[in-house]
């Protein structure tokens, strides 16, 4: 039997993967389950609250809050691709995932991740126009353009990811089926293939460059212009307020994009086992939990809208 026939037979036998996630910490199974469940609930409630506030409060109907509503909804979708399965694995200790389920999870993870990168760039552009060209802001950021920018952000990654995921799962897989990760990510899946992955790695590099590096550079360019404009403001108070907002946004962007760039664009050199898993916790879990605080809850309009809802709820219960 030749090597090609063996590869084909092995590939047909491999119908599922095993996500190792935190198998080495099995003694902390229920602690980790409780911790990640709390994190998931906080992410869904905080982002869901912001999404609802932007829909019901008349004061939150500007382009900035239109983008923020989409961003909050996107964050809920993004974490829902990975966290529920991780919670299920922790609770049941059954870590098997079929090839179809793995490909589906990978597809939605990267489509939504691409959308988040692009939407963050759109939000930075919105702030650039608002601060650097305030007189032209209503004309430039009209409703039609806002809808097009958001729609483009949501769908831009779809065709590319369909091609990339199809290409990855067309590879022959043989030998070990254990993925040292808590979700189906590209680098650990490619490591399990016994075929030539050079083309896949090039496609991954191009995708990361298009959907991560380019938006990141656009964000940096927008905020550079914003900071330059802020420095021209007449009072120290207004400068400090604007810098506070910009620094918070940039911190969130640096955390999300920084860990993403390191994960998908670093060279394949020797690094500690599980590094990708640790890095991915930052952009899949930590940024979605901090983003509502950074982008919304420090905003006076959002906090006022939240107080109005709380006031109405308290009075409705009293009645």
Predicted local confidence at residue 47, as pLDDT: 93
What is the C-alpha to C-alpha distance for residues 170 and 161, in angstroms, rounded to an integer?
14
Query: Which pLDDT value is given to residue 255?
Result: 82
How many residues are present in the chain? 319
The mean pLDDT value of the chain amounts to 86
Q: Which of 76-80, 84-88, 254-258 shows the lowest mean pLDDT across its residues?
A: 254-258
Contact 141, 63 (CB under 8 A): yes
Judged against a pLDDT cut of 90, whether residue 44 lies above it is answered with yes
Among 176, 155, 153, 157, CA closest to 165: 157
Domain ranges (residues) in the chain: 8-318
Is residue 11's pLDDT more than 70?
Answer: no
Rounded distance between C-alpha atoms, residue 184 and residue 206, angstroms? 19
CATH superfamily of 8-318: Rhodopsin 7-helix transmembrane proteins (1.20.1070.10)
**236: pLDDT confidence band, cut at 50, 70 and 90?**
confident
Measure the CA dihedral 55/61/67/70, to 10°. 10
Q: How many CB atoms neighbour CB 38 within 10 A?
A: 11
pTM of the model: 0.90
**Tokens 């308290």 -> residue:** 314
Report pLDDT for 26.
82
Q: Which is nearest to 91 in space by CA: 152, 148, 29?
A: 29
Report d(CA 290, CA 312) in Å as an integer: 27
Q: What is the pLDDT of residues 126-169, one digit of tens each?
A: 989 988 888 999 999 999 999 999 999 999 999 999 999 999 99
Banded model confidence at residue 309, pLDDT cuts 50, 70, 90:
confident
């Amino acid at each position: 039997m030749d090597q090609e026939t063996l590869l084909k037979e092995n590939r047909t036998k491999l119908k599922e993967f095993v996500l190792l996630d935190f198998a080495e910490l099995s003694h902390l199974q229920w602690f980790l389950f409780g911790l990640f469940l709390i994190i998931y609930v906080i992410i869904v409630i905080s982002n869901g609250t912001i999404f609802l506030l932007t829909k019901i409060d008349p004061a939150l109907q500007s382009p900035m809050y239109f983008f923020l509503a989409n961003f909050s909804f996107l964050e809920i979708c993004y974490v829902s691709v990975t966290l529920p399965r991780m919670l299920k694995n922790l609770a049941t200790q059954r870590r098997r995932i079929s090839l179809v389920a793995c490909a589906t999870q990978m597809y939605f993870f990267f489509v939504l991740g691409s959308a988040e990168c692009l939407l963050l760039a759109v939000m930075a552009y919105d702030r650039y126009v608002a601060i650097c060209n305030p007189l032209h802001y209503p004309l430039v950021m009209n409703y039609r353009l806002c809808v097009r920018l958001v729609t483009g952000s949501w769908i831009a990654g779809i065709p590319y990811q369909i091609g990339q995921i199809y290409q990855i799962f067309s590879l022959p897989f043989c030998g070990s089926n254990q993925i040292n990760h808590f979700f189906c990510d590209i680098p650990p899946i490619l490591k399990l293939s016994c075929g030539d992955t050079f083309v896949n790695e090039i496609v991954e590099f191009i995708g990361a460059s298009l959907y991560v590096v380019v938006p990141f550079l656009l964000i940096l360019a927008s905020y550079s212009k914003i900071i330059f404009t802020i420095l021209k403001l007449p009072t120290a108070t207004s400068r400090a307020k604007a810098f506070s907002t910009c620094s918070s946004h940039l911190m969130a962007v640096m955390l999300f994009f920084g860990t993403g760039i390191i994960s998908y664009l670093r060279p394949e050199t020797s690094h500690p086992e599980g590094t990708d898993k640790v890095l991915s916790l930052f952009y899949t879990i930590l940024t979605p939990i901090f983003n509502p605080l950074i982008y919304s809850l420090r905003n006076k309009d959002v906090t006022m809208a939240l107080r109005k809802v709380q006031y109405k709820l308290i009075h409705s219960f009293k009645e």
